[in-house]
């Protein structure tokens, strides 16, 4: 699969959080998230393993009860079914891979 950047549209499931699916296959999906300063992703968990990287901005992750500040160049992996949440400290852009693919994020 190959997608062109001008063929993708942003969507939103939470206030202040927008995402674009960049590419996906049978086992993985790749998404770009734009998170507005002050946004919160509440505590949740899902069966998908989640690996990410900060392009710009800053946020605080709580993963399995541990807090981490994420800033440009930082990466993470959240195991399947691990509780996590995010507090966005400044406008932030991240890239994340989910396995299996996050069906609710697919076009």
pLDDT the model gives residue 84: 98
**Structure pTM?**
0.90
All domains of the chain, ordered by start, with CATH?
30-105 (2.60.120.10)
CB 88 within 8 A of CB 15: no
User: What pLDDT is attached to residue 4?
Assistant: 74
- Separation in Å, CA 16 to CA 36, 69, 90, 91: 5, 19, 11, 9
> How high is the pLDDT of residue 105?
84
Distances (CA, A) of 57 to 25, 54, 74, 93: 28, 7, 11, 6
Please list the pLDDT of the chain residue by residue as tens digits (107 residues).
677 777 677 888 788 999 999 999 999 999 999 999 999 999 999 999 999 999 999 999 999 999 999 999 999 999 999 999 999 999 999 999 999 999 888 87
Give the containing element (helix H, strand E) for 54. Answer: strand 49-63
């Amino acid at each position: 699969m190959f997608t062109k950047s001008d063929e993708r549209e942003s969507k939103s499931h939470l206030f202040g959080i927008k995402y674009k699916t960049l590419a996906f296959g049978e086992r993985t999906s790749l998404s770009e998230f734009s998170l507005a300063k002050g946004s919160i992703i509440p505590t949740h968990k899902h069966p998908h393993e989640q690996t990410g990287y900060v392009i710009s901005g800053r946020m605080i992750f709580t993963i399995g009860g541990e807090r981490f500040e994420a800033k440009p160049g930082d990466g993470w992996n959240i195991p399947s079914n691990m509780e996590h949440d995010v507090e966005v400290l400044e406008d932030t852009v991240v890239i994340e891979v989910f396995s299996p693919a996050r069906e609710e994020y697919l076009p």
